[in-house]
Chains A and B, each alone.
Chain A
Amino acid sequence: MAELLPPVADPLPGSPAATARRWVALRRVAGAVRGSKAATVGAAILAVHLVLAVLGPALAPYPYTAFHMTHLLEAPSRQFLAGTDQFGRDQLSRVMWGARGTLTLAAVSTVLGEALGVTVGLVGGYYRGVVDEVLMRTMDALMAFPSILLAMLILTSLGHSPAYVVVGISVVFMPRAARVLRGVVLSLAASEFVDAARVRGERGWYILFRELLPNAWTPVIVDSTIRFSYAILLATSLGFLGLGAAPPSPDWGLMINEALPFLNQAPWLALLPALAISSAVVGANLLGDGIQASLRPE
């Protein structure tokens, strides 16, 4: 049978082009960032956080576990710019150390959640029928839980640890990303390049990941930037509930929880982590909104 198929000039027409299309999508998004004031500001705020995440431990004046027993619950001073907690730990250093953990959690959860959702969306949208029906009803059921509750359920069964926070958040994101991608795939599935690949006798996974996915990069990237701000909210909320990192970890959410009993005497304990969390979320929101607004055809 194989001899009957016409010889294919380009052995893998999808692959070089596929890589190119990924860069096209990235370039379009980068262009959108430059074109929007809000997105530029957001990117700048996130860049500061990124620097903190990479260099924070090197720049911080003290290790995050360093006890200063003669300086318990001290107000901000020249020695401790953001004050100290009940163990005499420097609050500024702890927030700077914490950036890496918090941002990594949010970023990894976003990527994993998108990857799961993209796979489900691709398979459902391309194969349709029973496969699609089963996948999408499962996704609907997952969405019947308020996000934080679903994450809590998953963390209860797996245990409390930052790694499982990632699992929890990705499962929360999966159905939402799957819906977005399924929509895109449904609109692409009738395209000629998909028919061409099918006639060429390409396998299913090849069509999914090398033909369809490259054409869906732009919505995936846009969706991820919006999802990222939500991941920061969820990750810090779970940390606050004590379901993520354990003390003495300088997780921003956990730091606010630990500050609650001392709020009256030492308000500075809550303020700096609160500022860190909210500026990261504002940055991600501005970036996501800006990109979305300038890519939307109007």
Chain B
Amino acid sequence: MVLAVVSVLVFAIVQILPGDVATEILGTSATPEDLAALRVKLGLTRPAPVRYAEWIGGVVRGDWGLSLLYQMPVRPLVLEGLGRSAMLAGLALVIAVPLSIGLGVVASLRRDRFLDHAISTLTLIALSLPEFVWGTLLILLLAYRFRIFPPSSLVDPTASLGSLASSLVLPVLTLILALLAQMTRMTRASMIDALRQPFTEAARLRGLRPRVVVAHALRNALLPTVGIVALNVGFLLGGIVIVETVFAYPGLGRLLVDSVNHRDVPMLQMATLVVASAYGLANLGADVVYAYLDPRIRY
């Protein structure tokens, strides 16, 4: 349902372009006759709803159109980019989620002590630097100053596994830094809240070991964090666009930026639709996890 609305929106926003695709392809020196002929060939003369129906029909059947920029079908390009980006995002998520929950729990248990303040300050700084600033600083520090990792990650298919992995470190690290802050802060806040609740008090009074008490509180504290994780997937998908630009990583984000810069409409539509769907799936996933963590929630 949401996907349908999203697809209409993507199409609408892109198609209201004041610019003209035909002029873009043929250049400004083209004759009006050539332009008109190309418009007919591209089907631009027909009403928008008809074109939408054709486009979405093609998408469902697996025909995602031709990229204007690369002069080849959109589908393999987008799918390949998606795979690469998913690897980047997946790695970042797999590391960032447990790490930030851990940091949040530690901060809540050491509330207002040194460790808590240190974590809070760090997360505030992490939150305040945009991804491209983090990426740039990491390149400066780890690639140029200490020469530990390569500054760009143009994946070479013949490269060894080791060099492939080391070229992924900086982009993944950048994404982790961008993700860490919000999730840590959320976990800390909801843990502090859960530790004050009567059920935690009861667990403590029953003489349960501290570790068990913390586990009790954590299960309840995780609910808001799950919501934040889903939100952060959106953040991550946006971050990928930036990070892939900084590190010249050939994923979906690069395709998006390239298609924006060259007004490659078919590519742009599909890449956006794929990213929006991924975001939608993440939200759906969050709902499922909600239901698992809190048996009171039923859909």
Interface residues of A (CB under 8 A from B): 137, 140-142, 144-149, 152-159, 229, 233, 236-237, 240-243, 253, 256-257, 259-260, 263-264, 267, 270-271, 274, 277-278, 281-282, 285-286
Contacts and interface: CB of A to CB of B under 8 A. Distances in A.
A278 B128 CA distance: 6
Contacts of A147: 234, 238
Contact of A282 (B128, B137, B235, B279): B128
Interface stretch (B51-59, B100-108, B111-119, B255-263): B255-263
In order of increasing CB-CB distance, the 5 nearest A-B pairs are: A148-B238, A146-B238, A146-B234, A281-B128, A141-B5
B13 A157 contact: yes
B262 to A, nearest CB: 10
B129 A274 contact: yes
Contacts of A253: 130, 132
B164 interface: no
B234 A241 contact: no
Contacts of A152: 241, 256-257, 260
Secondary structure at the B interface, as helix, strand, loop or mixed, is helix
Given A260-B246, A282-B125, A145 B132 contact: no
B200 interface: no
A146 B139 CA distance: 26
Given A156-B260, A157-B17, A285-B124, A278 B129 contact: yes
Interface of B: 2, 5-6, 9-10, 13-14, 16-19, 124-125, 127-133, 136-137, 139-140, 144, 151, 234-235, 237-238, 241-242, 245-246, 256-257, 260-261, 263, 268, 272, 275-276, 279-280
Contacts of B124: 282, 285-286
A146 B237 contact: yes
Contact of B132 (A141, A243, A256, A267): A256
The residue among A153, A154, A259, A286 with the most chain B CB atoms within 10 A of its own CB is A153
A159 B18 contact: yes
A285 B263 contact: no
Contacts of A277: 129-130, 133
A148 B279 contact: no
Nearest to B127: A285
B18 to A, nearest CB: 7
A263 B137 CA distance: 10
Nearest to A171: B13
B2 A140 contact: yes
A145 B16 contact: no
Contacts of B127: 285
Contacts of B14: 153, 156-157
A240 B10 contact: no
Nearest to A283: B128
A144 B10 contact: no
Given A146-B279, A281-B129, 15 more contacts: A141-B9, A144-B279, A145-B6, A146-B238, A149-B276, A152-B257, A153-B268, A156-B263, A156-B268, A157-B13, A253-B130, A263-B140, A263-B151, A270-B137, A274-B136
A153 B10 contact: yes
28 contacts: A140-B5, A141-B2, A141-B5, A141-B6, A141-B9, A145-B279, A146-B237, A146-B279, A148-B242, A149-B237, A149-B272, A149-B275, A152-B241, A152-B260, A157-B17, A157-B18, A159-B19, A233-B130, A236-B130, A240-B130, A241-B242, A242-B261, A256-B133, A264-B151, A274-B136, A278-B133, A281-B129, A282-B124
Contacts of B132: 236-237, 240, 253, 256-257
A245 to B, nearest CB: 15
A152 B130 CA distance: 16
Contacts of A281: 128-130
A161 B235 CA distance: 24
A271 B18 CA distance: 38
A186 to B, nearest CB: 21
B242 A240 contact: yes
A221 to B, nearest CB: 21
Contact of A263 (B129, B130, B144, B235): B144
Contact of A156 (B17, B130, B235): B17
A240 B129 CA distance: 13
A147 B128 CA distance: 17
Contact of A274 (B5, B133, B245, B263): B133
B16 A270 contact: no
A259 B137 CA distance: 12
Contacts of A257: 132
